[in-house]
Structure 1
Amino acid sequence: MSLTSDDAQLARLGYKQEFKRHFTPLEVFGLSFSIIGIFPSIASVLVYALPNGGPVALVWGWAVCSVFLMFITMALAELGSAAPTSGGLYYWTHKFAPERCKNLLAWICAYSNTIGNIASVASVDWGCALQLMAAVSIGTDMAFVPTTGQTFGLYAALLCCHGVVASMATKVLARMQKVCIALNVLLCLAIIIAVPAATPTEFKNTARYAFGGFANLYGWPNGFAFILSFLAPLWTIGAFDSSVHISEEATNANIAVPWAMMGACAIAGVLGWGINVALAFCMGTDIAGIMSNPIGQPMATILFNSLGKKGTLAVWSIVVFVQFTMGADMATTCSRQIFAFSRDGGLPLSRYLYRMNRHTHTPVNCVWFACAVALLLGLLAFAGPLAIGAIFTLVVTGQYVAYSIPIACRFLGGAPWAPGPFSLVRLGLPVALAALAWMAFSIAILVFPTTPAPTAADMNYTVVVMGGWLLLCVAYYYLPRYGGVHWFVGPVANVVVPAASDAASETEKDAADRYGETFERG
């Protein structure tokens, strides 16, 4: 049977076609754009921007971050165009890293990518749970104040719902994306237009305040407080690799993937800036009051002040629904990355995770594995009201470690560089250097605690969680006899293209014996 161009390209990368290619280029963009989920994401992390700069953080912090985030996106887009496979980051690492360290670097990259993606699922669903609880509080005129246990229970229910959705057939998931695009764009435009039009005079701010007002509620020096506010745009405009992980379900993947990444980042940057400017003009000046309001969500409080109870509930219902679709799409892309790493034997339960459901042709086991680990991360909420913030910073730090490794390895003298249809040509190195510098800077600032003198309740647990995860994955790699150093060889081909080889290599035969897989021969 003849292969399509996408299937042939995947075969040249070493893998047989196991997914159904139902995602069109527009739908690949839709998934990336949906996962960013501009307004719901801003609503989820506004709690980190307002007390660390107020209007200045909203407007100028967002603008600064958006520029540098495009450098990261372009560097990854170039790699995604050259080798579009669900493994993505660790596949590129192993291909381009120096021979002596490629296995270890690919291992660290894959585990960082895994925890970053799972933390993304956890943070999106936790944000959705908080938004639903805020809606109940508004609907009951603040008579209902949710407990941590109630919020966690709702969070667990959302994870189960997203597990079901992400397990559906690829065709169903693909068709959802057009609706997601429309809802996200319309919601952003509605906020930018409706909130300024409806806001009472007492909550409207002058241009001087909107573009230059500063608030600092946590005690850091003003300059550093402004930098700490970067968590909001860094978390909102992220998951650049989401389109890469569904590349084996996409048509024209080497073109669709890079343009989906860059298009989603650029549009999110522009629309997000417009939303933040609208908020800066319409939120009043009592930022401490917004943060301490019984509603429990700063964004919901701002909307309540501008639109009233009924208007807020109407808008908030759409916000919650869009956030729900974000969680479903994030669970989908997370499961594909786990499937790809399991295909190469990298995870402890690879034998069970590397299975395709015969009815939906999707990796259902990987979906539920991601949801189960995300549920465990949610237990951080019981450590204190600010401890759950670790899953938001864990998203950024985990992903940035995973992004940095292949971007750097691209220039370290591994396999010769063969660009895809999208190439930065001579700009590749300066763009990569800018991206690497920004990610190193971001990781450094995101491990700082909320206040200069933290207690156990308001400590930033990102160092503990991310550091512990990296230590465990390295310890597992070097574990005597059973560690990855004894058997992990990076990406393992499960199909051989005739032009490349007449027979499977010994490595491939070993892998076939290890996982009980029958390799396709050309």
Structure 2
Amino acid sequence: MSIVSAKNGQLAKPEDAFALARLGYQQELKRSFSKIEIFGTAFSILGLVPSIASTVLYALPAGPVGLVWGWFTAGTFIFLVSVAMADLGSAMPTAGGLYWWTHYFSSPKWRNPLSFVVGYSNILGVLSGLASTNYQFALMFLSIIHMAAGSGNFAPTKTTVYLVFLVCMFTHATTMTFASKIVPKLQVVFGIGNMLLILVTIIALPAGKKQVNSAEFIFTGSANLTGWPPVWAFFMAWMCPTWSIGGFEACITLSEEVKNATRTMPWGMITACASGTILGSIIMISIAASMTTDIDRLLNTPFGQPMAQIYFDALGRDGAIAMMTLVLIAQWFMGFGVLLSASRHAWAFSRDGALPFSNFFSKVSKSRGYVPLRTIWGSSIFAMVLGLFTLITPVVTAALFTMGVAANHLAWFMPIFARVVWGRHKFVPGPFYTGVFSIPIAVTCCIFLFFSITLAMFPRQGPHVTPSTMNYTIVVDGVIWISALAFYFIAAKKWYTGPKITLDAANLTEEQEEKILKEALVDFDHIDNIDR
């Protein structure tokens, strides 16, 4: 007999349902994602070429060294983060992983507030990432139109950009609603599309140039078009990979829809992150080989997108339009994947009663294939509201990018930190485990993530800031974190006691009940106390 309710059909194999039952949860979502499909999801969210196109302006001021070595260095650290989280995910695979792990490993005094803040930081970080991804889609779409028109400078109105952004958001939510049963298969298509775009880019850019830049320029050429010292300008270039290499987190939020989750989920995180680091470095080498040495010209391109100018210089007008159109399609794939991940995190957080209107958002749509339809639309609408900030000033728009980095990296930091400081004795390894290297990797990740959060707060153009050049990430994220803590201590502590137990005892045999009570990672006073 399966732990899965008979009336719901066979949502998961017994071993997957049991792994979730150990954490106190009933299987509610259908496990449809295979190993290749979960990798395709994470890889399409990485969206290497569109991600680089959106954020390369953070790396260009440091020159080719910032492009190539900045990506490789930061990417290597992020890969270690994926390994540290794979250790945790293999042992405790749940859609609410980051805040669940934080609660499990933290000291009793702090586990509830820390879990609460991590959950909110993560969901707002992912939603800001969704908004900024689709905002870049809008800019890219309009830059292609400008390139095709071939006249004047690129200066679309804020309202025009926002309207394109809204259309993009709506198409994502609509497609996810009506194609919900084939979403896993679509992720394979999206992943293949992204891989082909990478191959075309790394081949077409150097091939299109009559003379590529020297190896000396590619690997040692440096610049400093910031107001910071050269070393810090190099660190600022890390903002490009730290914003871009984050899709592996989707494997966590989709872990309750993954087959053989204790093995597949960590595999998906590690392979996606390793692919992003290696392939991203190759793309950066291709860009450094093909771009003009006049970096200031790229940063102030009339197309509004440095990558569009790089394509234009190498491939001409028609080639640039063709390539940017392919990038635009991949950008849409990327936004689709981010919405998929955001909706699952919002659903998990609602299941644990932490979000407003949790009873409404925690419901699963059985008619659409056991998916959280309400959080798909709720996440979309919230991202549309976030997009309204782009109508204020460019500085606030830029904060959408760095807000997501800082908020997500705090959510990555806390469970790893809690495990190292408070929870070493509680950790029971899953099938994937790095053994004696686990703690050293975790400590390295904590240091890097603390640094990356700090880095995201710095103004991009230098220390001498004005209201128009100020980086408001510290304000936005500070308000989020302080507000979440204040909300918890003022009100939420009365009803948020951490992750809930939703396991239905009616679906358990005596043998299963005994085994769960023996191996559970949550406190069951008695099986009868489980919610029915």
Q: TM-score range by the shorter chain?
A: over 0.9
Secondary structure class of the residue paired with 1:219: coil
Question: Do residues 456 (structure 1) and 467 (structure 2) align?
Answer: yes
| Equivalent of residue 135 in structure 2, options 122, 126, 131 | 126
| Equivalent of residue 293 in structure 1, options 301, 313, 322 | 301
Aligned length: 506
Secondary structure class of the residue paired with 2:426: coil
Q: Deviations over 1:291-339 (max 9, x none)?
A: 1121110001100111111111111111111110110111011110010
Q: Deviations over 1:406-460 (max 9, x none)?
A: 1111233447211111001111110000000000111111101123222222211
Question: Do residues 55 (structure 1) and 64 (structure 2) align?
Answer: yes
Q: Give the letter for the 1:207 counterpart.
A: A
8 Å CA contact 1:387, 1:458 repeated in 2: no
Call closer, same or farther: CA 1:253–1:44 in 2, change over 3 Å: same
Secondary structure class of the residue paired with 1:251: coil
Question: Do residues 163 (structure 1) and 163 (structure 2) align?
Answer: no
Name the residue aligned to 1:430. 440
Where in structure 1 do 4 or more consecutive aligned residues deviate above 4 Å? 504-510
User: Hey, what's the Cα distance between the residues in 2 that align with 1:200 and 1:381?
Assistant: 39
Name the residue aligned to 1:15. 25
Secondary structure class of the residue paired with 2:466: coil
Name the residue aligned to 2:9. none
Question: Do residues 278 (structure 1) and 275 (structure 2) align?
Answer: no
Question: Do residues 390 (structure 1) and 399 (structure 2) align?
Answer: yes
8 Å CA contact 2:365, 2:373 repeated in 1: yes
* 347-356 or 382-391: bigger deviation: 382-391
User: Hey, what's the Cα distance between the residues in 2 that align with 1:402 and 1:508?
Assistant: 32
Question: Do residues 94 (structure 1) and 103 (structure 2) align?
Answer: yes
Question: Do residues 248 (structure 1) and 240 (structure 2) align?
Answer: no
Following superposition, the deviation at residue 262 of structure 1 comes to 0.5
8 Å CA contact 1:170, 1:249 repeated in 2: no
Unaligned runs of 5+ in 1: 513-518
Q: TM-score, normalised by structure 1?
A: 0.93
Name the residue aligned to 2:480. 469
User: Hey, what's the Cα distance between the residues in 1 that align with 2:176 and 2:88?
Assistant: 26
Following superposition, the deviation at residue 376 of structure 1 comes to 2.5
User: Hey, what's the Cα distance between the residues in 1 that align with 2:121 and 2:179?
Assistant: 27
Name the residue aligned to 2:2. 2
Name the residue aligned to 2:371. 362
Question: Do residues 82 (structure 1) and 91 (structure 2) align?
Answer: yes
User: Hey, what's the Cα distance between the residues in 2 that align with 1:219 and 1:412?
Assistant: 38
User: Hey, what's the Cα distance between the residues in 2 that align with 1:320 and 1:388?
Assistant: 20
Q: Give the letter for the 1:74 counterpart.
A: V
| Equivalent of residue 222 in structure 2, options 211, 214, 219 | 214
Alignment of 1:343-362 (within 5 A): 343-360=351-368, 361-362=370-371
* 460-469 or 170-179: bigger deviation: 170-179
Q: Deviations over 1:133-183 (max 9, x none)?
A: 111111101346311211111111111111223334553110011111211
8 Å CA contact 1:166, 1:329 repeated in 2: no
User: Hey, what's the Cα distance between the residues in 2 that align with 1:97 and 1:185?
Assistant: 40
Following superposition, the deviation at residue 386 of structure 1 comes to 3.4
User: Hey, what's the Cα distance between the residues in 2 that align with 1:41 and 1:278?
Assistant: 15
User: Hey, what's the Cα distance between the residues in 2 that align with 1:211 and 1:366?
Assistant: 45
Q: Deviations over 1:277-298 (max 9, x none)?
A: 1111111111111111211100
8 Å CA contact 1:81, 1:419 repeated in 2: yes
Call closer, same or farther: CA 1:178–1:239 in 2, change over 3 Å: closer
Secondary structure class of the residue paired with 2:396: coil
8 Å CA contact 2:248, 2:268 repeated in 1: no
Q: Give the letter for the 2:393 counterpart.
A: G
Following superposition, the deviation at residue 40 of structure 1 comes to 0.7
Secondary structure class of the residue paired with 2:420: coil
| Equivalent of residue 406 in structure 1, options 399, 410, 415 | 415
| Equivalent of residue 308 in structure 1, options 307, 316, 323 | 316
* 428-437 or 285-294: bigger deviation: 285-294
Question: Do residues 181 (structure 1) and 166 (structure 2) align?
Answer: no
User: Hey, what's the Cα distance between the residues in 2 that align with 1:26 and 1:168?
Assistant: 22
8 Å CA contact 1:295, 1:301 repeated in 2: yes
User: Hey, what's the Cα distance between the residues in 1 that align with 2:41 and 2:151?
Assistant: 35
Q: Give the letter for the 1:323 counterpart.
A: Q
8 Å CA contact 1:73, 1:265 repeated in 2: yes
Following superposition, the deviation at residue 219 of structure 1 comes to 1.9
8 Å CA contact 1:168, 1:362 repeated in 2: no
Name the residue aligned to 1:516. none
Q: Give the letter for the 1:268 counterpart.
A: G
Name the residue aligned to 1:31. 41
* 491-500 or 310-319: bigger deviation: 491-500
Give the CA RMSD over aligned residues: 2.0
8 Å CA contact 1:385, 1:458 repeated in 2: no
8 Å CA contact 2:43, 2:248 repeated in 1: no
Q: TM-score, normalised by structure 2?
A: 0.91
Call closer, same or farther: CA 1:454–1:413 in 2, change over 3 Å: closer
8 Å CA contact 1:23, 1:171 repeated in 2: no
8 Å CA contact 1:142, 1:294 repeated in 2: no
Q: Identity percentage over the alignment?
A: 37
User: Hey, what's the Cα distance between the residues in 2 that align with 1:178 and 1:476?
Assistant: 40
8 Å CA contact 1:290, 1:301 repeated in 2: yes
Q: Deviations over 1:345-392 (max 9, x none)?
A: 011221211111232122122112212222222233233223311111
| Equivalent of residue 328 in structure 1, options 330, 333, 336 | 336
Call closer, same or farther: CA 1:287–1:509 in 2, change over 3 Å: farther
Following superposition, the deviation at residue 507 of structure 1 comes to 11
Secondary structure class of the residue paired with 2:395: coil
Secondary structure class of the residue paired with 2:131: helix
User: Hey, what's the Cα distance between the residues in 1 that align with 2:429 and 2:184?
Assistant: 27
Unaligned runs of 5+ in 2: 4-12
Name the residue aligned to 1:515. none
